[in-house]
């Protein structure tokens, strides 16, 4: 049987749905980002732990489709070891590419991952009473 999924997912997407990495709420995180809109079916929460501006750990909780789970799982893998400012550079396209691509109709799910990450970093800055670097303002996610 081919586990291609309802929307023809890549094997790597399927792998992340099957074994999502870094799931769960983080105890006393340094930054939290929550995005999504229950009306379109997806809510994503991303947690980061930061030491000396470097993201040492990340985890997530997601209510959503296979692509939403896979992109949140993948983005938590991608940010580890990056500085907070480097993390802001991670685009939804990069997340989708790292997963071996997403069906066109599911590209917006990767936007959710990018936005959750940006919000988590913003939240990190906020908690420190600092201003996040220019251009990180997050637009709300709509289908």
What does DSSP assign to residue 40?
Answer: G
DSSP string, 109-139: HHHHHHHHHHHHHHHHHHHTT-PPPTT-PPP
Q: What radius of gyration do the chain's Cα atoms show?
A: 14
Comparing CB distances to other proteins, the nearer of 61 and 80 is 61
Report the partner that residue 33 touches, choosing among other proteins, ligand FES, none (CB closer than 5 to 8 A by kind). none
Which residue of the set 43, 58, 109, 112 is catalytic?
A: 109
Which of ligand FES, other proteins, none is residue 20 near (CB under 5 to 8 Å by kind)? other proteins
Please say whether the beta carbons of 75 and 65 come within 8 A.
Answer: no
| CB-CB neighbours of 38 under 10 Å | 9
43-102: contacts with ligand FES (CB under 6 A): 64-65, 67-68
Shortest Å, Cβ 19 to other proteins:
10
112: partner contacted, choices ligand FES, other proteins, none (Cβ within 5-8 A by kind): ligand FES
Is 65 among the catalytic positions? no
Active-site residue numbers? Answer: 40, 109
């Amino acid at each position: 049987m081919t586990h291609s999924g309802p929307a023809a997912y890549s094997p790597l997407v399927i792998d992340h749905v099957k074994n999502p990495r870094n799931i769960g709420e983080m105890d006393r995180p340094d930054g939290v980002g929550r995005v999504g809109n229950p009306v379109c079916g997806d809510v994503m929460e991303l947690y980061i732990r930061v030491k000396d501006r470097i993201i040492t750990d990340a985890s997530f909780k997601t209510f959503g489709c296979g692509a939403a789970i896979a992109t949140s799982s993948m983005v938590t893998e991608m940010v580890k070891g990056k500085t907070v400012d480097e993390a802001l550079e991670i685009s939804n396209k990069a997340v989708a590419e790292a997963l071996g691509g997403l069906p066109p109709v599911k590209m917006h799910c990767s936007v959710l991952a990018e936005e959750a990450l940006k919000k988590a970093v913003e939240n990190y800055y906020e908690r420190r009473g600092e201003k996040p670097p220019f251009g990180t303002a997050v637009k709300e996610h709509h289908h």
